[in-house]
């Protein structure tokens, strides 16, 4: 432990130098520590990072977890949530270690990050070379792109439960325009108020689902047959794998902290809180409606119409706007770096520069309005690599030499004190996620995708809308 402490102390001043400089710059222009700007806008504390991680982990997936439980059964649903939650927390820890390693190496070379946000692909490039950079960039950007598209489609799907006078495609146009305003939020420093609100909204929605399901009670003749088919089982498992896969923004959240080395257990603490939202709500809704959920991927569709439900829908919509911003911000940074606008101070200039990122996302959401099957396909084919396999492999390769292990900025954690134990855990993660997540999950989600392909309609005006006299589009 003393070696770890010394290593940490050695890099603390350099890691904090840029951050402290930013803080001083902030305070120069604003003497009041409790000013509205610093209170709502400028956050870089441990608490801000915790809110960002917890808020970013659970959004629309809260509404699809009961559907996953119906595919897998109650016991598997709970066990796999806990299993993937801890697996995800471990790989988030690995990402944080690699970030600190990269940053401490660069700062020894006197590289300044004053106007530059470090991203995951740059960490991979700095530690492992250009091929890893290309792989990291491809997986991360594709994952974030689909994540953003899914949020837009989900917004239209949710609002339709409150107001079906407009079809889902029209709602997608409206929400696309609303979400485009995220181009004005410069970085994760400025998500303090949003991530705080986002977590409050998800907490309300999760407890509304739990209480509403318990008050409603079990429907007549309820059955809990799951799991019945392997395809359904692994599709559900992939959705849970996806739930704890908010790592595509981990490096950006860390970089926004004044003291990034304090990030290590934040993701785990965020996950433990998320368990209090996802497990009770999914279990209660599945207990109440059972196998009916197999045909209702959105939990809102089974709960009775009420003011409480409408409030939950509205809060989820606002949170999805926030999650859209979370998913898009790293894409904005990548695009800014491509066009050479990343160090520009003008918010308006950067906002204009970012618009070409939002427009294709908006367009894709209008072309492909079927987010349920896409969700599990994205989970198995992208999340399995982005969140689990690449960080574990990158960590093993970074520290494969004895000198790298000896000079590591972060030594192994206290609960796994030897490098051998760390390697064993990483090897298990790579093997498990490759076989179960990518292999079986990919097979199940693609089978499910192909089965539903004939129900898809490109540019569908109202995908999966119930037939009604006012709408001829099903």
Backbone angles phi, psi at 468, to 5 degrees: -145, 160
Rounded to the nearest integer, the mean pLDDT of the chain is 82
Give 149-214 as a 3 state SS string: HHHHHHHHHHHCCCCCCCCHHHHHHHHHHHHHHHHHCCCHHHHHHHHHHHHHHHHHHHHHHHHHHH
> Which residues are CB-contacts of 170 (< 8 A; sequence separation ≥ 6)?
none
Cβ(283)–Cβ(69) below 8 Å? yes
* Choice between 209 and 21, residue whose per-residue pLDDT is larger: 209
List Cα–Cα distances, 230 to 175, 300, 330, in angstroms: 36, 26, 36
The CA distance from 423 to 407, in Å, is 17
Per-residue pLDDT, 69: 92
pLDDT tens profile 141-170: 888 888 888 888 878 777 877 777 777 778
Of 136-140, 300-304, 393-397, highest mean pLDDT: 393-397
Q: What residue spans define the domains of the chain?
A: 44-456
Q: Single out the residue of 61, 142, 118 nearest to residue 386, CA to CA.
A: 142
> Coil, helix or strand for 468?
strand
Of 3-7, 122-126, 222-226, 348-352, highest mean pLDDT: 122-126
Cis omega before residue 227 (within 30°)?
yes
User: Which pair of tokens denotes residue 217?
Assistant: 């009670």
Topology classification of domain 44-456: Hydantoin permease (1.10.4160)
Looking up tokens 């530059």 gives 116
Q: In which band, very low, low, confident or very high, does the pLDDT at 188 lie, cut at 50, 70 and 90?
A: confident
Per-residue pLDDT, 428: 97
Per-residue pLDDT, 227: 84
> Which residues are CB-contacts of 72 (< 8 A; sequence separation ≥ 6)?
80, 226, 227, 232, 233, 236, 237
Percent of the chain with pLDDT strictly greater than 90? 33
* Arithmetic mean of pLDDT, 198-227: 91
Cβ(385)–Cβ(247) below 8 Å? no
Q: Find the range with the poorest average confidence among 14-23, 132-141, 383-392, 454-463.
A: 14-23
The answer, yes or no, to whether residue 312 has pLDDT greater than 50, is yes
Q: What is the CA radius of gyration of the chain?
A: 22
pLDDT tens profile 66-95: 999 999 999 999 999 999 999 999 999 999
The model's pTM is: 0.86
pLDDT tens profile 376-412: 677 678 888 988 999 999 999 999 999 999 999 888 9
Identify the H or E element spanning 280. Answer: helix 266-289
Per-residue pLDDT, 238: 84
> Which residues are CB-contacts of 75 (< 8 A; sequence separation ≥ 6)?
none
> Which residues are CB-contacts of 273 (< 8 A; sequence separation ≥ 6)?
54
Q: Find the range with the poorest average confidence among 82-96, 273-287, 292-306.
A: 292-306
* Arithmetic mean of pLDDT, 183-207: 86
* Arithmetic mean of pLDDT, 19-34: 43
Per-residue pLDDT, 455: 67
The answer, yes or no, to whether residue 452 has pLDDT greater than 50, is yes
């Amino acid at each position: 432990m003393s070696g770890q402490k010394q290593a940490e102390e050695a890099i603390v001043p350099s890691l904090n130098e840029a951050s402290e400089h930013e803080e001083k710059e902030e305070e120069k222009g604003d003497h009041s520590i409790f000013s509205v700007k610093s209170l709502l806008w400028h956050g870089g504390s441990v608490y801000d990072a915790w809110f960002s991680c917890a808020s970013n982990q659970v959004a629309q997936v809260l509404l699809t977890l009961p559907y996953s439980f119906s595919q897998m059964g109650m016991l598997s649903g709970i066990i796999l949530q806990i299993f993937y939650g801890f697996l995800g927390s471990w790989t988030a820890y690995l990402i944080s270690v690699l970030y600190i390693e990269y940053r401490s190496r660069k700062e020894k070379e006197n590289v300044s990050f004053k106007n530059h946000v470090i991203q995951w692909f740059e960490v991979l490039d700095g530690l492992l070379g250009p091929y890893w950079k290309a792989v990291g960039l491809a997986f991360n950007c594709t994952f974030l792109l689909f994540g953003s598209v899914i949020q837009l489609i989900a917004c239209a799907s949710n609002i339709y439960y409150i107001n079906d006078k407009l079809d889902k495609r029209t709602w997608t146009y409206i929400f696309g325009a609303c979400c485009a305003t995220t181009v004005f939020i410069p970085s994760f420093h400025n998500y303090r108020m949003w991530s705080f609100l986002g977590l409050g909204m998800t907490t309300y929605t999760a407890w509304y689902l739990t209480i509403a399901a318990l008050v409603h009670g079990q429907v007549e003749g309820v059955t809990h047959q799951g799991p019945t088919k392997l395809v359904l089982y692994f599709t559900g498992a992939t959705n849970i794998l996806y739930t704890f896969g908010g790592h595509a923004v981990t490096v950006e959240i860390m970089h926004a902290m004044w003291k990034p080395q304090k990030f290590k257990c934040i993701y785990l603490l965020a996950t433990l809180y998320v368990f209090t939202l996802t497990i009770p709500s999914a279990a209660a809704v599945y207990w109440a409606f059972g196998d009916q959920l197999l045909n209702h991927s959105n939990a809102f569709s089974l709960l009775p119409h009420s003011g409480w439900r409408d409030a939950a829908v509205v809060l989820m919509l606002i949170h999805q706007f926030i999650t859209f911003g979370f998913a898009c911000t790293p894409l904005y940074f990548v695009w800014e770096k491509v066009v050479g606008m990343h160090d520009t101070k003008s918010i308006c200039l950067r906002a204009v520069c970012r618009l070409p990122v939002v427009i294709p996302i908006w367009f894709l959401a209008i072309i492909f309005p079927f987010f349920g099957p896409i969700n599990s396909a994205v989970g198995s084919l992208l999340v399995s690599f982005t969140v689990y396999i690449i960080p574990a492999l990158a960590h093993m390769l970074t520290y494969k030499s004895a000198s790298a292990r000896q000079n590591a900025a972060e030594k192994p954690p206290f609960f796994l004190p030897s490098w051998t134990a760390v390697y064993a855990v990483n090897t298990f993660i790579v093997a498990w996620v490759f076989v179960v997540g990518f292999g079986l999950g990919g097979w199940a989600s693609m089978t499910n995708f192909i089965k539903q392909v004939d129900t898809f309609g490109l540019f569908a005006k109202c995908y999966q809308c119930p037939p009604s006299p006012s709408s001829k589009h099903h």
